[in-house]
């Protein structure tokens, strides 16, 4: 699929001087009936053009909240999020989200209509042009035979594929994915990861991908932001462009996974702090 | 797990069996399809099953009426059918039904429009939410018929007061059902909609309404039944003083003149119209929307 060597050069070539998406000291809070909870604390990250940036963390590290803030559904209480230098102030079609849940597809629209809908709703394209682009993208994800099917007639993997096709058809500046494969079975998930990488190799979109799976992070991302929980803070940023579906199970892949694992869990506050010897290596 | 020394009480391990591989020859002869037995196929037709129920009910009615043998209290099914046929043939019943239905439709549509405005307000502003919940809590329990005397004072004897009470009877249950449906729309779908830049009325019309359609349809059905009931009852009360009445007035008039078979004919027509609207309008609406979209089985 992709050899690590070509990958490295292409990333180097594509990366422009200024980051496409900047998170600058972003603190996010949400409110429960009793208290205000800080989800992330002064998170700063830079995402460059054609990055496959993975936000990795245990549950409760605010990675999904962070993604929703990038999408514009939540306003930061501190700091700001900039896309191409402009402050993000609300949801918009330049940042399309692929959610984990299967109910993100309106059930009253066929697969084709589902892909056409945002293009027309956001007034990006006329209906005819939108239909044409939708057919193209459906062919790309292998869903052409199902263009007239309704979402409830599709399997989970196919629904996610429609959601990805819909997002790609919008040609957003940043594609945001919130654990898109977490609700899929392991075999389908592996295939979807490979398909996503193949699509990236073809389209070179910019991706921000939230996951809690170390393996998925190494496989899908070229750079991983590791978040610590309660509240979410950036623990480390790790490069993972060398890994692809072929490197699974290799010794160096295992070592990288171990390292990420250590970064994720070692400094966890509380009783789990039973110091392992390599702790200083971080 | 268990140490070898405790093998006496350890559970016995399953035997180790040889592995095997098998080449599956392609099935040259496909498993033949078997048609369902004709009785199952016939009984799959809902209209047939429901028709059977109606037939049984009609037969019971006929038997009961013959056994009772009092035309004034309970005319037979056949007598009612004859009266219905005559009424329809002479055009009198058709004309009365048309009158009732026109009024009904006016009130129904007005109620739907108002319910839509109220619920659209309620999803977008806190004030709208408070307004909707207060108003429905106040007016939903109020019987439409109880408002009729007031309506007569305000709008006079005529269509105006009837449309007013009809609107009242449709508006509140429909607004409640629609709002409940809006609130049940999954968050993911809402965010997906807002992600495309949909806001305001476009958001309500393109995301919330279709997503809440099962609840809205059930509200429409309830509203329809309430309106139909209210109309017939209102005509019974006040049709007497209006020049030309609808079906309720027809029933009232014939009761006064002790044409019990025609009273029954009027009632049967009310039922038939109800069945037709349910079976034709709402059923087809559901078939092309919520059933097709998998929102409802």
Contact at 8 Å (CB) between B196 and B234? no
Whether A150 and B213 lie within 8 Å, measured CB to CB: no
Least confident of A244-253, B60-69, B260-269: A244-253
Structure tokens at A272: 């789990």
- B200: domain CATH number? 1.10.3720.10
Q: Is residue B296 in some structural domain?
A: no
Note the pLDDT of residue B134.
93
Q: Which domain holds residue B174?
A: 68-291
- Over residues A77-128, the pLDDT tens digits come to 989 999 888 888 889 888 999 998 888 899 999 999 999 999 998 888 888 9
Distances, alpha carbon B237 to alpha carbons A221, A225, A236, B232, B250, in Å: 75, 74, 79, 9, 12
Residue B20 lies in a domain: no
Closest CA to B182 of B116, B236, B226: B116
Q: What is the mean pLDDT of residues B185-210?
A: 90
**What gap in Å lies between CA A220 and CA A245, rounded to an integer?**
9
With beta carbons less than 8 A apart as the criterion, state whether B223 and B108 touch. Answer: yes
Q: What percent of chain A has pLDDT over 70?
A: 88
CA dist A281 and B59 (Å) reads 90
Across the interface, whether the CB atoms of A99 and B188 are under 8 A apart is answered: yes
- The per-residue pLDDT for B171 is 94
pLDDT category at B9 given cuts 50, 70, 90 is low
Tell me the per-residue pLDDT of A177-188, one tens digit each, with 9 for 90 and over. 999 888 888 888
pLDDT tens digits for range B102-112: 989 999 999 99
Q: Does residue B80 contact residue B262 with C-beta atoms inside 8 Å? A: no
Q: Say if B77 falls within a structural domain.
A: yes
Query: Among candidates A81, A101, A45, which has minimal Cα distance to A237?
Result: A45
Sheet with A223-228, side-by-side order of all strands = A95-98, A174-178, A207-211, A52-57, A223-228, A233-239
Residue B219 lies in a domain: yes
The phi and psi torsions of B234 (rounded to 5 degrees) equal: -65, -40
pLDDT of residue A236: 86
Q: Which residues of B touch A96 (CB under 8 A)?
A: 195
Q: What is the DSSP string of B188-253?
A: HHHHHHHHTT--HHHHIIIIIHHHTHHHHHHHHHHHHHHHHHHHHHHHHHHGGGSSS--HHHHHHH
Mean pLDDT, rounded, for A22-46? 86
Percentages helix, strand, coil for chain B, rounded to the nearest 5?
75, 0, 25
Instruction: State yes or no: pLDDT of A276 exceeds 80.
Output: no
Q: What is the pLDDT of residue A9?
A: 46
Task: Return the pLDDT at A281.
Answer: 39
- Domain membership flag for residue B103: yes
The pLDDT > 90 percentage for chain B reads 38
Average pLDDT over residues A210-219: 90
> Rounded mean pLDDT of A237-261?
84
Q: What is the bridge-based pairing of β-strands A21-31 and A36-47?
A: antiparallel
Contact B197 A121 (CB under 8 A): yes
Q: How far apart are CA B251 and CA B246, in angstroms?
A: 9
In a domain, B31, yes or no: no
CA–CA distances in Å: residue B269 to residues A135, A207, B92, B199, B221: 51, 64, 12, 46, 19
- Mean pLDDT rounded to a whole number for chain B: 86
Question: Domains, chain A, ranges and CATH?
Answer: 4-94+176-281 (3.40.50.300), 97-171 (no CATH)
Instruction: Please give the pLDDT value at position A11.
Output: 47
Compute the average pLDDT of residues B58-81.
90
CA distances from B167 to B86, B103, B163, B175 (A): 33, 10, 6, 12
Q: Which of residues 187-216 of B touch A (CB under 8 A)?
A: 188-189, 191-198, 202, 206-207, 210-211, 213
- Predicted local distance difference test score (pLDDT) of residue B108: 94
What is the pLDDT at residue A6? 47
The per-residue pLDDT for A61 is 82
Give the mean model confidence (pLDDT) for residues A154-172.
89
- Domain contains B100: yes
A136 pLDDT more than 60: yes
Rounded to a whole number of angstroms, the distance from the CA of A105 to the nearest CA of chain B is 7
Nearest CA in chain A to B207: A106
What is the pLDDT, as a whole number, of residue B11?
64
The number of angstroms, rounded, from the C-alpha of B162 to the middle of its chain's C-alpha atoms is 22
B189/A150 touch (CB, cutoff 8 Å), yes or no: no
The token duo for B118 is: 């109220």
A124 in B contact zone (CB under 8 Å): no
What is the number of structural domains in chain B? 1
**Å between B192 CA and nearest CA of chain A:** 6
3-state secondary structure of A56: strand
pLDDT at B261 over 60: yes
Mean pLDDT of the region B58-78 = 89
pLDDT over 90 at B59, yes or no:
yes
Quote the pLDDT of residue B30.
62
State the average pLDDT over residues A189-207. 88
B291 → chain A, closest CA residue: A108
Closest-CA residue to B190 (of A106, A235, A162): A106
pLDDT digits (tens, 9 = 90+) for A19-32: 889 888 898 888 88
B42, part of any domain: no
What's A275's DSSP letter?
-
Which residues of chain B make contact with A95, given a CB cutoff of 8 A? 195
Contact B77, B64 (CB under 8 A): no
Sort strands A21-31 and A78-83 into parallel, antiparallel or unpaired.
antiparallel
| B69 pLDDT tier (thresholds 50, 70, 90) | confident
Using CA atoms, how far apart are residues A228 and A230, in angstroms rounded to an integer? 7
Mean of the pLDDT values across residues A275-282? 40
Q: Do B195 and A118 touch (CB under 8 A)?
A: yes
Mean per-residue pLDDT over chain A, rounded? 83
């Amino acid at each position: 699929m992709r050899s690590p060597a070509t990958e490295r050069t292409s990333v180097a070539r594509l990366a422009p001087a200024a980051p496409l998406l900047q998170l600058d000291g972003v603190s996010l809070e949400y409110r429960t009936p009793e208290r205000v909870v800080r989800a992330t604390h002064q998170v700063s990250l830079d995402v460059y053009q054609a990055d496959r940036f993975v936000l990795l963390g245990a549950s409760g590290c605010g990675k999904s909240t962070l993604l929703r803030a990038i999408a514009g559904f939540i306003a930061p209480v501190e700091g700001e999020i900039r896309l191409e230098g402009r402050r993000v102030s609300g949801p918009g079609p330049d940042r399309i989200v692929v959610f984990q849940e299967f109910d993100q597809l309106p059930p009253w629209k066929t697969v084709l209509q589902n892909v056409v809908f945002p293009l027309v709703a956001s007034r990006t394209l006329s209906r005819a042009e939108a239909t044409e682009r939708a057919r193209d993208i459906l062919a790309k994800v292998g869903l052409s035979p199902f263009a007239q099917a309704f979402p409830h007639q599709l399997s989970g993997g196919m629904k996610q594929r429609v959601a990805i096709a819909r997002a790609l058809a919008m040609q957003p500046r940043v594609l945001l994915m919130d654990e898109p494969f977490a609700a899929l079975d392991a075999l389908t998930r592996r295939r979807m990861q490979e398909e996503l990488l193949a699509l990236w190799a073809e389209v070179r979109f910019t991706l921000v991908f939230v996951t809690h799976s170390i393996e998925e992070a190494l496989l899908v991302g070229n750079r991983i932001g590791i978040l610590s929980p309660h509240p979410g803070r950036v623990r480390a940023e790790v490069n993972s462009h060398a890994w692809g579906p072929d490197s699974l199970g290799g010794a160096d892949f295992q070592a990288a996974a171990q390292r990420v694992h250590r970064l994720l869990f070692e400094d966890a506050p509380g009783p789990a702090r039973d110091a392992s010897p390599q702790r200083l290596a971080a | 797990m268990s140490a070898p020394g405790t093998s006496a009480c350890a559970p016995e391990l399953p035997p180790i069996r040889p592995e095997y591989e098998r080449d599956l020859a392609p099935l040259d002869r496909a498993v033949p399809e078997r048609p369902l037995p004709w009785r199952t196929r016939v009984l799959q037709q809902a209209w047939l099953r429901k028709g059977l129920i109606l037939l049984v009910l009609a037969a019971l009615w006929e038997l009961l009426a013959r056994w009772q043998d009092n035309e004034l209290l309970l005319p037979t099914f056949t007598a009612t059918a004859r009266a219905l046929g005559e009424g329809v043939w002479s055009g009198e019943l058709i004309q009365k039904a048309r009158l009732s239905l026109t009024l009904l439709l006016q009130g129904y549509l007005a109620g739907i429009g108002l319910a839509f405005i109220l619920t659209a307000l309620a999803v977008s502003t806190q004030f709208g939410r408070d307004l909707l919940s207060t108003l429905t809590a106040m007016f939903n329990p109020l019987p439409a018929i109880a408002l009729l005397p007031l309506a007569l004072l305000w709008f006079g004897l005529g269509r105006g007061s009837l449309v007013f009470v009809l609107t009242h009877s449709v508006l509140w249950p429909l607004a409640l059902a629609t709002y409940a449906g809006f609130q049940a729309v999954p968050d993911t779908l809402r965010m997906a909609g807002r992600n495309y830049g949909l806001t305001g009325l476009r958001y309500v019309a393109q995301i919330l309404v279709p997503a809440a359609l099962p609840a809205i349809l059930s509200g429409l059905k309830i509203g329809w039944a309430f309106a139909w009931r209210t109309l017939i009852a209102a005509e019974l009360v006040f049709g007497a003083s209006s020049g030309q009445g609808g079906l309720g007035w027809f029933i009232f008039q014939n009761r006064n003149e002790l044409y019990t078979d025609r009273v029954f004919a009027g009632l049967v027509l009310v039922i038939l119209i109800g069945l037709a609207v349910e079976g034709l309008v709402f059923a087809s609406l559901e078939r092309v929307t919520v059933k097709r979209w998998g929102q409802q089985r």
